[in-house]
């Protein structure tokens, strides 16, 4: 029905989105059925086909609707997802996130993923800039803010800036002791600071 509507109406971003969503649901149902039947080989092959469809569909829709900033964000996510296999995709992801950060809905997530891209390119100072920019948009301590704090803590810890790392890790620890490995992180920082003080 959606395919027929697309033929009649022509280009329509909402119909395109719904069509893709239905196709992905069908892929997911088929993959689940194969796994339930114990057919992991065909399930894996279909998963790869599904992933390729998602990538191609988003890339095609960005071509059709270049001003859709949320689509740009989704395409950036796809490039980021495959950047371990192809490091050149980091720059492709960055380009999309630089556009999608203009969208209020995707600004924080775009800045966060831009920071991850900069880390992968060994541009720590630029990663920190993106993370600090995102904090200006996160007044409350929610999961998004904890993710940003955690990444800042990690970056500062790697640079040996233990006091700066401690500040961000402790904020998370105060809010949620079960977040990732934050309890271990805080204890390790305390121990490192103590050792540094005794040196």
pLDDT tens for the chain, 199 residues long, are 777 776 777 677 888 888 899 999 999 999 999 999 999 999 999 999 999 999 999 999 999 999 999 999 999 999 999 999 999 999 999 999 999 999 999 999 999 999 999 999 999 999 999 999 999 999 899 999 999 999 999 999 999 899 999 999 999 999 999 999 999 999 999 898 888 776 5
30 and 49 Cβ atoms separated by less than 8 Å: no
CA R_g for the chain = 21
Angle made by CA atoms 123, 165, 117, in degrees to the nearest 5: 25
Tokens of 18: 């719904």
Tell me which residue of 142, 167, 137 sits closest to 154, measured CA to CA: 167
86 and 119 Cβ atoms separated by less than 8 Å: no
Question: Which pLDDT belongs to residue 107?
Answer: 97
Tokens of 157: 């810890």
Q: How many residues are listed for the chain in this entry?
A: 199
Question: Which pLDDT belongs to residue 13?
Answer: 84
Torsion of CA 19, 21, 26, 27, to 10 degrees: 120
- CA pair distance 172, 7, nearest whole angstrom: 51
Give just the sign of the alpha carbon dihedral 104, 108, 109, 111: positive
Give just the sign of the alpha carbon dihedral 119, 122, 127, 128: positive
Tokens of 125: 């100072």
Q: 143-158 and 124-135 are packed helices; what angle lies between their axes, rounded to 10 degrees? A: 150
- CA pair distance 127, 121, nearest whole angstrom: 10
47 and 33 Cβ atoms separated by less than 8 Å: no
The Cβ of residue 156 has, within 10 Å, a number of other Cβ atoms equal to: 21
136 and 113 Cβ atoms separated by less than 8 Å: no
pTM to 2 decimal places: 0.86
């Amino acid at each position: 029905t959606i395919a027929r509507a697309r033929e009649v109406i022509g280009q329509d971003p909402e119909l395109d989105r719904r069509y893709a969503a239905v196709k992905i649901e069908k892929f997911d149902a088929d993959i689940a059925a194969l796994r339930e039947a114990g057919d992991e080989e065909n399930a894996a092959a279909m998963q790869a086909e599904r992933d390729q469809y998602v990538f191609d569909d988003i890339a095609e829709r960005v071509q059709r609707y270049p001003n859709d900033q949320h689509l740009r964000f989704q395409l950036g996510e796809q490039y980021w997802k495959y950047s371990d296999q192809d490091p050149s995709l980091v720059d492709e992801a960055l380009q999309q996130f630089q556009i999608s950060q203009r969208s209020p809905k995707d600004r924080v997530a775009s800045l966060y993923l831009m920071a991850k891209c900069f880390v992968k390119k060994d541009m720590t100072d630029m990663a920190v800039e993106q993370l600090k920019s995102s904090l200006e948009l996160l007044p409350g301590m929610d999961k998004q803010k904890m993710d940003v704090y955690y990444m800042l803590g990690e970056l500062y810890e790697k640079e040996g800036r233990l006091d700066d790392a401690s500040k961000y890790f402790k904020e998370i620890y105060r809010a949620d002791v079960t977040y990732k490995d934050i309890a271990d992180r805080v204890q390790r920082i305390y121990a490192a600071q103590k050792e540094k003080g005794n040196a």
